[in-house]
Structure 1
Amino acid sequence: MSPLRRFLRTPEAFAGAILLAALIAMALSASLLFPGDPQAIAGPAMLPPFQDWSLPLGTDRLGRNVLAELFHGARTSLAVGLTAAAAALVVGAVVGTLAGFAGGIVDEVLMRITDAFQTVPSFLLALAFVSVVGPSLGIVVIAIALGTWTGPARVARAEVLSIRERDYVAGARVIGMHPLAIAFREVLPNALPPVLAMSSVIVAAAILTEAALSFLGLGDPNRVTWGGMIAEGRTVLRTAPFLSIVPGIALVLTVLGVYLAGEGIVETTAVRRGLS
């Protein structure tokens, strides 16, 4: 059975794949279905859902189309989650590989730097960084990556410590390969699977962190975000709760989809290793 079929036969993986497919479809179709500025006024303010079928989810207190904002917010969440996770995994894998393969003083220095980053909660680190540098999409991605690279670094280091003593690594040393070439061409590819298994957790955490920063007014002001939509609806929660409930449900379903898909990948990989 192919890995894809094995993945889709896992109930949680199938549910996660459906939710992620919906998120990706929303992000890719946002500009096609809702061209122009999603923050432009589209109708009367505070229009309830299902009152006007040209505005199926109604409008916010400024008269902006909630459905258009929801679709464009999916693009922001997906971009931040994937980019921040990729940055964290790359930095963590490089640091962990260097620390585990070099050992000695290099290992000590890199691990003490990792410890220093881990002593600060990731959200507080992101909050402080964005507050100092200023809110923009790139800065938010960097801020989230700063707080999440330490986990992949420790996992990569642990894997490299066990791999560096194997025979093929000793053979690469004997034939005169440069230590960095051995570390990144021979050792790192075999240490990556456990590191990549953390990607779903990091993506979900990145999406939640971006939403929290936007909720606090520290997101990119030029982009629609689900956290910003929730914060916008907070001021009229009694009279128009849908303004916070709709993006809140989208955020919950997205994070749930990422977690379920990640669990499916881990289970599929475990089954495949057991068969091999």
Structure 2
Amino acid sequence: MSRLFLRSPEAVAGTIILALLVAMALAAPWLFPRDPLAIAGPAMLPPFQDWTIPLGTDRLGRDVLSGLFHGARTSLAVGLAAAATSIVVGVLVGTIAGFAGGWVDEVLMRVTDAFQTVPGFLLALAFVSVAGPSLGVVVVAIALGAWTQPARITRAEVLSIRERDYVAGARVIGMHPAEIAFREVLPNALPPVLALSSVIVAAAVLTEAALSFLGLGDPNRVTWGGMIAEGRAVLRSAPFLSIVPGIALVLTVLGVYLVGEGAVEASAVKRGNA
């Protein structure tokens, strides 16, 4: 599988981008040990004027490069945590609904429909507005709007798998229904759901940036969305304040998307060879 993955130019490019972003996130505390929200120099210092502050400073005199590195930690943490939460919840709901069937399936799918009627960003916006901005609240808010797709895909796969012979054999030998569902059926239903994870991570990163742009991100953390919003007021005189974090955001989403495409292509080739 790894060889097939590395044969894809998209996968290689995406892996390089994500590896650089992860390196930025991990290196941030060592390269920039000071608080990224602290004043580092004169306000509105242009890039490449002072090599101790290579990308200049914002309106309050904060180091843009330090914010960029620490913002990578926030974006990756929120993206991965929100994707993991939404996939776990969606897989549980989809497995129970698909395997149990009957009124259980009906109730869970109606709940899923109710969540799908509200756009994910509006749901996250409302939840953060009520609960208050913090990193944990943002993760939960994003997951609330993202778990429905994994739930529906898992349910569809489970409905197909539960009729196969090995599942009937497990029932005959007396295995508990929960054990059959989560030990025999679920592992075979996961691949299509995991292929969706890259889309969920990319959407989570963008949603977190949008919430921060609107002032609903964690106020104690540097975020790329917050940096873009900070530069909006001086867009004509200092466009670099918004352009630099904007490029980082685009590269993150692009890297996640390319890795996801590479994984899907590799799995398709592997199934074809099998």
Smaller-chain TM-score bracket: over 0.9
**2:61 matched residue in structure 1:** 63
**In the alignment, structure 1 residue 191 sits paired with structure 2 residue 189:** yes
What secondary structure, in the 3-state scheme, does the structure 2 residue paired with 1:206 have? helix
**In the alignment, structure 1 residue 263 sits paired with structure 2 residue 254:** no
Cα distance in 2 for residues equivalent to 1:220 and 1:154: 31
Cα distance in 1 for residues equivalent to 2:173 and 2:52: 69
TM-score (norm 1): 0.98
**1:251 matched residue in structure 2:** 249
1:221 Cα deviation (Å)? 0.2
Cα distance in 1 for residues equivalent to 2:153 and 2:19: 29
**2:76 matched residue in structure 1:** 78
Identity %: 82
Q: Give the counterpart of 2:198 among 166, 175, 200.
A: 200
Cα distance in 1 for residues equivalent to 2:263 and 2:245: 27
**1:101 matched residue in structure 2:** 99
Q: Deviations over 1:244-267 (max 9, x none)?
A: 000000000100000011000000
Cα distance in 2 for residues equivalent to 1:170 and 1:4: 34
**In the alignment, structure 1 residue 159 sits paired with structure 2 residue 162:** no
Q: Deviations over 1:138-183 (max 9, x none)?
A: 0000000000000000000000000001111111111111111111
Cα distance in 2 for residues equivalent to 1:4 and 1:100: 31
1:36 Cα deviation (Å)? 2.2
Counterpart of 1:23 in structure 2: which amino acid? L
Where structure 1 has 5 or more consecutive residues not aligned to the other structure, the ranges are none
Cα distance in 2 for residues equivalent to 1:168 and 1:111: 26
What secondary structure, in the 3-state scheme, does the structure 1 residue paired with 2:47 have? coil
Where structure 2 has 5 or more consecutive residues not aligned to the other structure, the ranges are none
**In the alignment, structure 1 residue 133 sits paired with structure 2 residue 134:** no
Please list, as runs of the form range in 1=range in 2, the aligned pairs for 1:44-59 lying within 5 A after superposition: 44-59=42-57
Superposition RMSD on alpha carbons, in Å?
0.6
Q: Deviations over 1:96-128 (max 9, x none)?
A: 000000000000000000000000000000000
**1:216 matched residue in structure 2:** 214
Cα distance in 2 for residues equivalent to 1:52 and 1:269: 48
Cα distance in 2 for residues equivalent to 1:158 and 1:7: 26
Cα distance in 1 for residues equivalent to 2:241 and 2:103: 54
1:6 Cα deviation (Å)? 2.0
1:57 Cα deviation (Å)? 0.4
Query: Aligned pair count?
Result: 274
Q: Deviations over 1:71-103 (max 9, x none)?
A: 000000000000000000000000000000000
What secondary structure, in the 3-state scheme, does the structure 2 residue paired with 1:55 have? coil
TM-score (norm 2): 0.99
Cα distance in 1 for residues equivalent to 2:83 and 2:41: 37
